Chains A and B, each alone.
Chain A
């Protein structure tokens, strides 16, 4: 009995020494990983940090080596120049209008279609859902030329309506909402409401929509950034300077030879800073939405 106890205590002492060694090793590993992740993060952010810094620099300082992160004598000249030379605010306004309208359209169509496909399992609906899914893999670039001619015949080129035409529905959004409807809205709840005499529209607006708030929020953030960063479609739909989105405006502004880097950086920074702030605020929603794109299989 005593022998038994002794061996036991011996083991614990050894284990404790071993544990201490392991803990120290673990601490070192964690430190190494932190250093690695920190340098990756800094490298990822550095181009954007320099871009914003350059916006406040004088032409002379822009050429300095090593490049400075905090401008020595910050100036707003670049911003003033770019705002007087280009309708930058107009372009930002166009982009915001386009992104907000696209978000509303995508959230509305996805909410309705996702609910119907999730809870009304008629054969017809299943066929329609398969159709939505099958076209999801076709990249937008494949069919944007015929869509351009449709916009042209509707007479909505060079307007926010023309931009919107390409971004009214999102197959992935319908899929995402359908998954959420299936997993988070019990049939019993809907049946109970029906027995109480609730109409289908009342059920959708008063029961289903409130329960989908989280998923719709994530989808809204995805849809907004999708439209905000759209490039190829706005490039062909808008051809007048006043109808450009910010992406198109900047891309065409930078092709001129006389444009200097300071002004380009100032214009870019004007766009970047609000969208990065928006992203940081909405990060949780965004990550939830993007993460669910990987759950297809």
Chain B
């Protein structure tokens, strides 16, 4: 009797949240999967089922492939820059936890992660600006030829990677810091007694023991890298001033197909590709964790 009453309360309490969740999360996810199999132009009334034709078209769509390649390069570029730097900074911060400056360091590294994307991107747009930016002025000052940072096809991708890494670094440092705080102190003391230096125990103890954290941070960084949009929108306007067109990324391509070309089904199939990438990365993370658990 009592148990039934409690079950009744649980259902009643969860119902509003569940309803919202179903409406704003489950339904649109299912709808994305469904729409990806249809040809739907917002303007036309009928929505014919076309199976996997959207996906087949994507494979030959050079705008989409361009976006996919750019996005992949950005995601992995951010990963390669962020993870080693975050690990070193977190190790140093952990070493100086008790110093009076620790709070300042932590805040300074973390602020780029919380400030609004667009104003922060604006700061970097000025830094990279070919005519007015301090970066070119600095290059000129030390005698290196000035570069057209934001309009060169390779350099503009690098600019986006730098901006994204600057933002991602704080989060990674914070998660690593939690990791360092959870490592057993006794192990480091033992290593010290055996004559291991600081860098040695960092290399042989910390890096292997932080592997689960590294996996987690890597996947989070990659996933957010694949969703890059605002940074490219602000930083990579093309010569005509069209936002984000210089470095095309997946989300931009998807939104253009949906709202400029009115091809919603086609855009949905791009969203499914994004989903598959994210699921794949998450699966790799889980299987690597399990492997580690076995050995």
Q: Could you tell me which A residues sit within 8 Å of B by CB distance?
A: 29-30, 33-34, 36-38, 40-42, 44-45, 47-48, 50-51, 54, 62-63, 65-67, 109, 112-113, 115-117, 120, 122, 124-125, 128, 131-132, 135, 137-147, 149-150, 165-166, 168-169, 174, 200-201, 204, 225, 228-229, 231-232, 235-236, 246-247, 250-252, 254-257, 261, 264-265, 267-269, 271-272, 275-276, 279-280, 283, 286-287, 290-291, 293-297
Partner of B174, one of A44, A143, A279, A291: A291
Known: A47-B123, A47-B127, A146-B35. A231 touches B229 (CB 8 A): yes
Closest to A268 in B: B119
Q: Are B251 and A232 in contact (CB-based, < 8 A)?
A: yes
Contact B26 A297 (CB under 8 A): no
| A257 in contact with B241 (CB, 8 Å) | yes
Residues on B facing A (Cβ under 8 Å): 5-7, 9-11, 13-14, 16-18, 20-21, 23-29, 31-32, 35, 89, 92-93, 95-96, 99, 101, 103-112, 114-120, 122-127, 129, 132, 134, 137, 141, 166, 169-171, 174-175, 177-179, 198, 212-213, 216-217, 223, 226-227, 229-230, 233-234, 237, 241-243, 251, 254-255, 258-259, 264, 267-268, 271-272, 274-275, 278-279, 282, 289
B116 touches A228 (CB 8 A): yes
- Give the docked Cα–Cα distance between A257 and B238 (Å): 12
Query: Cβ of A146 and Cβ of B32 under 8 Å apart?
Result: yes
Contact present for B122 and A254 (CB under 8 Å): yes
Contact across chains for A287 and B174 when beta carbons are under 8 A apart: yes
User: Do B134 and A50 touch (CB < 8 A)?
Assistant: yes
| Residue pair A116, B126 in contact (C-beta under 8 Å) | no
CA distance A147 to B89 in the complex (A): 40
Q: Do the beta carbons of B134 and A143 come within 8 Å of each other?
A: no
Taking the closest CB of chain A, its distance from the CB of B65, in whole angstroms, is 19
Docked-complex contact B289 and A297, CB < 8 angstroms: yes
| Nearest 6 A/B pairs, CB to CB | A268-B119, A41-B108, A146-B31, A294-B175, A143-B28, A120-B10
Are B126 and A265 in touch, CB under 8 angstroms?
A: yes
B25 proximity list for chain A (CB < 8 A): 135, 138, 143, 169
A176 to B275: give the CA distance in the assembly, Å: 24
Instruction: Tell me, rounded to whole Å, the shortest Cβ–Cβ distance linking B88 to chain A.
Output: 9
Q: Which residues of A contact B120 (CB under 8 A)?
A: 47-48, 272
User: What does DSSP make chain A's interface, helix, strand, loop or mixed?
Assistant: helix
What are 26 A-B interface contacts by the 8 Å CB criterion?
A: A29-B198, A30-B95, A33-B92, A37-B96, A38-B105, A40-B109, A42-B108, A44-B108, A47-B124, A65-B137, A67-B134, A125-B14, A141-B274, A142-B32, A168-B20, A236-B259, A247-B118, A250-B118, A251-B243, A261-B132, A271-B119, A272-B116, A283-B107, A290-B175, A291-B177, A294-B216
Interface centre among B18, B126, B223, B241 (most CB of A within 10 A): B126
B119 touches A279 (CB 8 A): no
In the complex, what residue of chain B is closest to A225 when comparing beta carbons?
A: B114
Q: Which of the listed residues B106, B114, B166 has the most CB atoms from chain A within 10 Å of its own CB? A: B114
Docked Cα-Cα span, A150 to B25, in Å, equals 11
Docked-complex contact A132 and B175, CB < 8 angstroms: no
Cα A194 to Cα B254 with chains together (Å): 53
User: What is the minimal beta-carbon distance from B28 to any residue of chain A, in angstroms?
Assistant: 4
**Known A-B contacts A254-B125, A291-B174; A229 and B117 likewise in contact (beta carbons under 8 Å):** yes
Q: Does A147 lie within 8 Å of B24, measured CB to CB? A: yes
Contacts of B243 in A (CB 8 A): 251-252, 255
Given the contacts A45-B108, A146-B32, A275-B114, A250 and B122 also touching, CB distance less than 8 Å = yes
Complex Cα spacing A228 to B120, Å: 13
Q: Which of B115, B230, B264 contacts A275 (CB 8 A)?
A: B115
Chain B residue numbers with a CB within 8 Å of A150 are 23-24, 27-28
Q: Contact: A145 with B258, CB < 8 Å?
A: yes
For A124, the chain B residues whose CB sits under 8 A away are: 11
Q: Give CA–CA (A124, B32) in the complex, Å.
A: 27
* Whole-angstrom distance between the Cβ of A14 and the nearest chain B Cβ: 17
Chain B proximity of A153: nearest CB distance (Å) = 12
A293 to chain B: which residues have CB within 8 Å?
175
How far does the Cβ of A204 sit from chain B's closest Cβ, in whole Å? 7
